[in-house]
Amino acid sequence: MMKKRTAEDTRSGDYLPGNTPDLLGRIRVVLINTTHPGNIGATARAMKVMGLTNLHLVTPLKFPDAEATALASGADDLLQAAQVHDSLESALENCGLVLGTSARIRSLAMPQLDARTAAKQAIAEAGKYEIAILFGRERYGLTNDEMQRCNWLVHIDANPDYASLNLAQAVQVLSYELRMAAISGAAEAVTTPEHEPVDGLQMERFYQHLEETLLDIKFLNPAQPRKLMMRLRRLFNRARPDQNEINILRGILTASQESSRHEPE
């Protein structure tokens, strides 16, 4: 006789799909340059409540810290296991999808997803590689440069008259949506590449190589390089090239540089 499912069963996790912890464990919550250690602790608590365990910190102002441990309220194991990085590039290594949280409108539009759709996208791809979700500074969030490293920006649909969320609250909302997407077993991706995209670290090296080459061949104006590079980043972030494609692109760049060096003055 089949046991009737109850709310208590759901809360206890008895009915969670078998791969839910694995999928959630492949989601990296990446906090960048966090000022207040209490926010790191509150983030760990928000994550653990929803089954996320993978916390990464990029240049936190103070960590480890007693305030972080106090605000973690029993999730101090996540703090002990947290990986601390001295650069965002390091935090994005081996991540095939990078999502960035932002509420600000920019002059150059970037692809955006709401929190629920972003969670479904992340869970749909988490079986292939690790996923990074970036959260910026308490005062002003992610910088333009950091957002340009994201495949999508994520916004939380809040009251337009008062859309202020603190850092841990934003992590809690995204963590809840990720858990619901994993439990449902029906995460629908906006678009899922059939190949495995290279990680954020390789993409950043490619962008550096691309900018150097465009300067060498005099296609890029050194006085105003940012606008074009922003558009090119958006293009390749959307394309999400795999390892073979990156090798081809970088080979083209290297050949272009060598050719430009042998051109007569």
pLDDT tens for each residue of 156-206: 988 888 878 899 999 999 999 999 999 987 556 666 677 789 988 899 999
CA distance 223 to 165: 38
State the virtual CA torsion across 59, 61, 67, 71 in degrees, nearest 10.
-50
State the amino acid at position 168 in one-letter form.
Answer: A
pLDDT tens, position by position, 226-256: 788 888 998 998 889 999 999 999 999 999 9
User: Domain 17-184 is in which class?
Assistant: alpha beta
Rounded CA separation 48/13 (Å)? 13
Q: How confident is the model at residue 108 (pLDDT cuts 50, 70, 90)?
A: low
Measure the CA–CA gap between 252 and 247, rounded to whole angstroms: 9
Residue 168 CA to residue 73 CA, distance in Å, equals 13
**pTM to 2 decimal places:** 0.80
Name the pLDDT band for 18 (thresholds 50, 70, 90).
Answer: low
Residue 9 has pLDDT above 70, yes or no: no
Burial of 165 (0-12, 13-18, 19+ CB in 10 A): middle
pLDDT for residue 13: 45
Which strands make up the sheet holding 130-135, listed edge to edge?
A: 83-85, 54-58, 27-32, 130-135, 95-101, 152-155, 112-114
CB burial of residue 159 (10 Å; 0-12, 13-18, 19+):
exposed
Tens of pLDDT, residues 148-161: 899 999 999 888 88
The domain ranges of the chain are 17-184, 200-261
Which of the four pLDDT bands, split at 50, 70 and 90, describes residue 77?
very high
Place of tokens 């050949």: 255
Q: What's the topology of domain 200-261? A: Helicase, Ruva Protein; domain 3 (1.10.8)
